[in-house]
Chain A
Amino acid sequence: MSEIKKFMYLNRRAPYGTIYAWESLEVVLIGAAFEQDVSLAFVDDGVYQIMKGQDTAEVGMKNFSPTYSALGDYEVTKLYVEKESLEERGLTIDDLMDLKWEDEDEDWAEKDSIILVSREELSQAMSEQDVVFSF
């Protein structure tokens, strides 16, 4: 296990209606311990996973959206969000959670985890991966 692989988790599903988003996040958390070069991609309905203001009190399910804020602590700091997917849904980046990570090499400076990319840029990033996980 010497070589570091580039892993992308491709998220194309909305949360709560199905369990895919939550259980795929569990893979990301466990996978972080393997110290690979990890990124997440939020495409299509996947952008709904990181909407701010999620309140699940009345549907009786756990609100797992705070977990995305913890990803930085797991050194998962590259969250690609596709611009076209947001636009198609009438959303902007301001509708998403403000996800940050702290850069140890720059005196723990807070940096944005979300990287807003075009479809073309996302496709390019995807093509550079060794492994793409889909859930």
Chain B
Amino acid sequence: MSELHTVNKSPFEKSSLESCLGHAQEGSAVLLLEDGVYGAAKGAAAVEAKMKAATGIKLYVLGPDFKARGLSADRLIDGVEMVDYAGFVDLAAEHDKVVAWV
């Protein structure tokens, strides 16, 4: 089975992203939303390294949350795909279940 994991915490404040990536199986997807989107922004070496180490896992960021926080698409870490709420719905439907790392 494949999962869609969601992370809504800043990686600088909480360990949710790290915990999520530590548990996500190959073939699953991770969507960063709310304050979780800071994990998808370029420039923070330690976080970027964790994201890049997530091989075999598809990474997404919720665009409306990214933009709301003053982050533009050119700040997105390579390999992370931006989706809107409709895209979030598609991801939830495409995977067998959704796991929230609240």
Measuring CB to CB, which residues of chain A are less than 8 angstroms from any residue of chain B?
A: 10, 12, 43-44, 119, 122-124, 126-132, 134-135
Contact = CB atoms under 8 A, between A and B. Distances in A.
Nearest to A132: B99
Most chain A CB atoms below 10 A, which of B19, B28, B96, B100: B19
Nearest to A122: B23
Contacts of B101: 12, 134
B22 A128 contact: no
Contact of A126 (B15, B99, B100, B102): B99
Given A123-B25, A134-B100, A134-B101, 11 more contacts: A12-B101, A123-B22, A123-B23, A124-B25, A126-B3, A126-B99, A127-B1, A127-B25, A127-B28, A129-B1, A132-B98
A43 B19 CA distance: 9
Chain A facing B: main interface SS: mixed
Contacts of A132: 97-100
Contacts, number: 38
15 contacts: A12-B19, A12-B101, A12-B102, A43-B19, A44-B19, A119-B23, A123-B22, A123-B23, A127-B25, A128-B1, A129-B1, A129-B97, A132-B97, A132-B99, A134-B101
Give chain B's interface residue range (CB within 8 Å of chain A).
10 to 19
Contacts of A135: 102
B99 A134 contact: yes
